[in-house]
Structure 1
Amino acid sequence: MGRRSPRELRIRRHNRLRKRVNGSQERPRLNIFRSNIHIYAQVIDDTLGHTLAAASTNEKAWPASETKMTKTEQAALVGKLVAERALEAGITKVVFDRGGFKYHGRIKALAEAAREAGLNF
């Protein structure tokens, strides 16, 4: 019985979370993935398996001036962007899927910015 890697533990937490969290057409899932450098957010309809809106720090249109921000500030900007794009697509209510990450730091900043921009969860 070897030790489990942090990635493996996160995936186990995410699988446990996904038993309860499922996106529908009325209420799609706001999925978050955080890497060491970037953060990604997608609004997903699980019934069709389609991404309805997305934003990340890895976009080509990401302004060069934004790279001087802290990772937490960048996450908040991604949260605002994904919320704006979801609202344009007619989505106001989502289910939050933190992806097995703890709800603090960049994940929390993204979630709060998305709420402030108009998403309900």
Structure 2
Amino acid sequence: MNHEKFINKQRLRRRRHNRKKIRGTAERPRLNIFRSNAHIYCQLIDDERGVTLASASTRDKDLRSDAAGGNCDAAAAIGKAIAGKAAAAGVTQVCFDRGHYRYIGRLAALADAAREAGLQF
């Protein structure tokens, strides 16, 4: 078996395992995280209606200056931004969906900043 295929299968298995337990509602949407090498993205998703309530990323024009690139400082800025957008949408509690990523580094920085800014999960 090709090593790359094996790694991808393991990653998909971990993602399915985590997503099986997490479901976003209007009162408690799912905070979904996507992390690439260069950027980090997050969305608040209501799975019942299938809509995105708010999103933030390092590629947003208003966040590009303080959230440059894919480091922990940028992730913290995105965490604060998504918490602010969630408050504007009337959301205080979320379900944290880390996907297949481990809870370290940029992911932990984003989650900690979102908690400090007022999101509960």
Q: State the TM-score, normalized to the length of structure 2.
A: 0.90
Give the deviation of 1:8 after TM superposition.
4.1
Q: CA RMSD in A?
A: 1.7
Q: What is the match of residue 34 of structure 1?
A: 35
* Residue 75 of structure 1 pairs with residue 56 of structure 2: no
Amino acid at match of 2:88: E
* 1:88 partner amino acid: A
Residues 16-55 of structure 1 aligned to structure 2 (within 5 Å)? 16-55=17-56
| Percent of matched pairs sharing the same residue | 51
2:99 maps to 99
CA distance in 2, matches of 1:48, 1:71: 33
Q: Which amino acid aligns with 2:12?
A: I
Q: Deviations over 1:66-102 (max 9, x none)?
A: 42x7711000000000010001000000000001100
Q: Residues 90-117 of structure 1: CA distance to partner in whole angstroms, max 9, x if unpaired?
A: 0000000001100000000000000000
Paired residue for 1:2?
Answer: 2
Distance 1:53 1:70, change over 3 A: closer
SS in structure 1 opposite 2:54?
Answer: strand
Any gaps of 5 or more consecutive residues in structure 2? none
- Residue correspondences, number: 120
User: Shift of residue 25 of structure 1?
Assistant: 1.2
TM-score norm. by structure 1 comes to 0.90
1:112 equivalent in structure 2: 112
Extract unaligned runs of 5+ from structure 1.
none
Work out the CA distance in 2 between the residues paired with 1:101 and 1:107.
Answer: 8
> What is the distance in 2 between the residues matched to 1:104 and 1:51?
25
